[in-house]
């Protein structure tokens, strides 16, 4: 048998063929395997292929054979990811607002390489999410990586921050000033990534939308604010900050209709204590950063939620009602 041009790559091409052409529902017979190898200019006899199929196990590729008529057929079993897991990852990528459309397609193509060409077609699915708008900042992935690198190196980061103007243009905030922040973690809220860090000049914890950070780089200065973050529960911090808008932290008492018990649990967790007030209502004390967004959230729930205290928060609600009355001329 004449030798092919790519004999040294026989095991590589055999692995490629088996991974791409077989799965739990698709098999290759020995003649089909030999024919596929010839398409890569690799020649082989049956005996050597039997040995090579066993050798693939050393590469983490398990091939199983089963009787097929008077012969055998072969397929890859026990892949690293199961199809339901990959479909879940694809759905998460498709529906994630912070991942651009371009990067979504790139990531899904990489996931498709983990399965056979037949299963890859099943991953080419479209998830429709109401109101989903993909971010337009392609550099977000490198920004996230830079933040994690700074955290691992115990260094501050420098960056510029932008907002969109009415002309749909990026507009640097504070005249293009460079922000210097000690990064301590990343938070996820309302489909957006936020850097949570310590601003030593203001002596306070702040957060920034990662997709609005530009030209990020690591500083030579060590991070500050360790004591402030030592006892900080990042998940609790995100839960308290509605839409990640800041405000003074207060324990607010709410009167809630029983119908909205699920809404309260979804927002504040199952550990929240709900005390019956009457047959139709309960009260709950929640720790929140009191901001316009929090008050708007309460308003959005209509007459089934009422802020009972503390008094300064109730007064803030009254001011917001007066402002809306003036704005809309009621």
For the domain bounded by 242-328, which CATH number is listed?
Answer: 3.30.70
> What kind of architecture, by CATH, is found in domain 7-77?
Orthogonal Bundle (1.10)
- 206 membership: H or E segment, kind and range: strand 204-209
* Residue among 35, 15, 12 nearest 79 (CA): 15
Q: What is the pLDDT of residues 199-258, one digit of tens each?
A: 999 998 888 988 889 999 999 999 999 988 887 777 677 766 655 566 678 899 999 999
Q: What is the pLDDT of residues 20-50, one digit of tens each?
A: 999 999 999 999 999 999 999 999 889 999 9
User: How many C-beta neighbours within 10 Å does residue 42 have?
Assistant: 22
Q: What is the pLDDT of residues 142-170, one digit of tens each?
A: 888 899 999 999 999 999 999 887 777 88
Topology classification of domain 140-232: SH3 type barrels. (2.30.30)
What does the pLDDT average to over 302-323? 93
Could you state, in order of their start, the residue ranges of all structural domains in the chain? 7-77, 83-123, 140-232, 242-328
Residues 229 and 258: their CA atoms lie apart, in Å, by 36
Distances (CA, A) of 277 to 270, 274, 303: 19, 9, 16
Q: What is the pLDDT of residues 243-288, one digit of tens each?
A: 556 667 889 999 999 999 988 887 888 888 999 999 999 999 998 8
Q: What is the pLDDT of residues 69-121, one digit of tens each?
A: 889 999 999 888 888 899 889 888 887 777 777 888 889 889 999 999 999 98
Matching residue, tokens 């909205």:
260
Residues 323 and 330: their CA atoms lie apart, in Å, by 10
DSSP string, 113-133: TTS-HHHHHHH------TT--
pTM of the model: 0.59
């Amino acid at each position: 048998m004449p030798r092919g041009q790519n004999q040294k790559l026989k095991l590589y091409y055999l692995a490629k063929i088996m991974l791409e052409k077989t799965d739990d529902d698709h098999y290759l017979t020995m003649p089909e395997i030999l024919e596929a190898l010839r398409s890569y200019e690799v020649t082989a006899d049956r005996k050597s292929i039997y040995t090579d199929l066993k050798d693939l196990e050393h590469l983490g590729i398990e091939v199983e054979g089963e009787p097929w008529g008077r012969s055998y057929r072969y397929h890859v079993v026990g892949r690293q990811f199961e199809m339901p897991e990959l479909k879940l990852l694809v759905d998460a990528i498709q529906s994630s607002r912070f991942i651009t459309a371009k990067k979504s397609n790139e990531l899904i193509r990489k996931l498709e390489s983990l399965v056979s060409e037949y299963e890859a077609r099943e991953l080419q699915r479209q998830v429709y999410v109401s109101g989903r708008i993909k971010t337009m900042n392609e550099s977000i992935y490198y920004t996230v990586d830079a933040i994690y690198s700074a955290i691992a190196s115990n260094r501050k980061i420098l960056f510029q921050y932008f907002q969109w103007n009415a002309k749909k243009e990026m507009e640097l905030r504070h005249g293009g000033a460079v922000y210097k922040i000690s990064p301590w973690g990343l938070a996820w809220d309302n489909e957006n990534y936020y850097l949570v860090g310590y601003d030593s000049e203001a002596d306070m914890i702040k957060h920034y939308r990662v997709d609005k950070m530009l030209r990020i780089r690591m500083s030579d200065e060590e991070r500050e604010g360790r004591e402030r973050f030592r006892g900080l529960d990042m998940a609790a911090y995100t839960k308290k900050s509605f839409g990640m808008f800041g405000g003074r932290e207060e324990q607010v008492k709410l009167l809630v209709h029983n119908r909205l018990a699920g809404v309260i649990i979804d927002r504040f967790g199952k550990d929240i204590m709900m005390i019956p007030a009457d047959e139709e209502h309960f009260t709950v004390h929640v720790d929140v950063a009191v901001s316009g967004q929090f008050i708007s959230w309460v308003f959005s729930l209509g007459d089934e939620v009422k802020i009972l205290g503390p008094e300064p928060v109730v007064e803030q609600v009254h001011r917001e009602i007066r402002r809306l009355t003036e704005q809309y001329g009621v």
